[in-house]
Amino acid sequence: MNIHQLETFLSIVKSRNFTKSAELLHVSQSTITSRIVALEEAMGSRLFARNNKQVTLTEMGVSFLPYAERMYSIYKESKEVLELQQKYKAKFVMGGPSSAWNYIFAAPLRKFQHQHGDVACELLTHSSEQTIEKVIDGIIHLGISYIKPRHPSLKVQPLIEDDYVFVAKQKLDRKITLKDLHSPTFVLNNWGATFMEWFYREVGEQFLPSFKINQTMILLKRCLEEDWFTLIPKSIVQSYLDQQLLHVLEHDIAWEAPKHHVYAVTLGRTKAADIEACIAQFLAFLPERMTLRSPT
């Protein structure tokens, strides 16, 4: 198995056509065919089912796909690092949920870039689970995660523990009640499995919110522009609270919400000295540990 075979496999998965993949990769169709035949021989299984109209993945092909994507991603990453070494002293890859980088770590990131112009920075936004996976693979050097990983090769540093708070652009002269969650102005954002399991356990498995979303940027935009209210980690809206663009709404709901945690995740084993320095310098811009709690 070689990188050309992986590239061809992924191209066909995307195009569903040998001829189109040959055009995209600027090779002959016979080359495409020979690469796939060689790859299937190396893997000991047929990866594609072919007929005159379309090409589809076999069951073995579906199983092989995520591994092919990871191998090809690691190859591209390593190639890019070697190319960038001629221009920059290091390439520093950070990653994590977009909400963390948009609303919690935007200022430290700008400060790091300003002070380290000789470092090529890359930011990959993924779910916490995908971020952890890419840290393990060595693609991301410093990951931000909302869940605490247990993998033995990882070093985990707690950064933030805060509360989920109800927020809206207008203050209320009363406390939020459980009945308000059935209002068309309540928006439920998916903050991960732990949060969602707790929420539905408290409000009931049959609860159907008026609007449910998993995109923080859209959620906050609508809360700032309309009369929506939502339940959100305080660290994400802290700057809006400081500017009084949003306000914390007190509630009268008898529940004990889980804490929202933010972790810095890196590989525990020895890394290149320049990457170790980048990680240390970036973390130095952060508070040692923040604890944000809602008003009692």
pLDDT band at 164 (very low <50, low <70, confident <90, very high): very high
Alpha helices in 128-246 (DSSP H): 128-136, 193-203, 216-225, 234-242
State the sign of the Cα–Cα–Cα–Cα dihedral 166, 171, 177, 178: negative
The CA-to-CA distance between both ends of the chain, in Å, stands at 61
Looking at the predicted structure, is the pLDDT value of residue 294 above 80?
A: no
What pLDDT score does 1 carry?
87
What pLDDT score does 85 carry?
67
Eight-state DSSP code of residue 296: -
- Mean pLDDT, residues 159-168 taken together: 94
Residue 262 to residue 100: CA distance in whole angstroms: 9
* Residues 164 and 191: beta-carbon distance below 8 Å: yes
* Average pLDDT of the chain to the nearest whole number: 90
Q: Which amino acid is at 284?
A: A
Place of tokens 């320095």: 277
What pLDDT score does 93 carry?
94
The three-state secondary structure class of 79 is helix
**Six-digit token string for 242:** 């400081």
Per-residue pLDDT of 177-211, as tens digits, reads 999 999 999 999 999 888 999 999 999 989 999 99
Task: From residue 204, give the alpha-carbon distance in Å to each of 109, 199, 207, 210.
Answer: 40, 8, 6, 15
Looking at the predicted structure, is the pLDDT value of residue 160 above 80?
A: yes
Task: From residue 64, give the alpha-carbon distance in Å to each of 43, 48, 132, 145.
Answer: 9, 11, 21, 27
Per-residue pLDDT of 111-141, as tens digits, reads 999 999 889 899 999 999 999 999 999 999 9
What pLDDT score does 288 carry?
60
pLDDT band at 290 (very low <50, low <70, confident <90, very high): low
The three-state secondary structure class of 230 is strand
pLDDT band at 28 (very low <50, low <70, confident <90, very high): very high
What pLDDT score does 295 carry?
38
* Residues 38 and 5: beta-carbon distance below 8 Å: yes
Alpha helices in the chain (DSSP H): 3-15, 18-25, 29-43, 59-84, 98-103, 106-115, 128-136, 193-203, 216-225, 234-242, 273-284
What pLDDT score does 89 carry?
81
Looking at the predicted structure, is the pLDDT value of residue 270 above 70?
A: no
pLDDT band at 286 (very low <50, low <70, confident <90, very high): confident
What pLDDT score does 76 carry?
87
Residue 155: strand pairing partners: 266
Residue 216 to residue 236: CA distance in whole angstroms: 9
Per-residue pLDDT of 77-89, as tens digits, reads 888 777 766 678 8
Per-residue pLDDT of 85-108, as tens digits, reads 667 888 899 999 999 999 999 999
Cα angle, residue 124 at apex, residues 118 and 125 outer, rounded to 5°: 140
Looking at the predicted structure, is the pLDDT value of residue 69 above 80?
A: yes
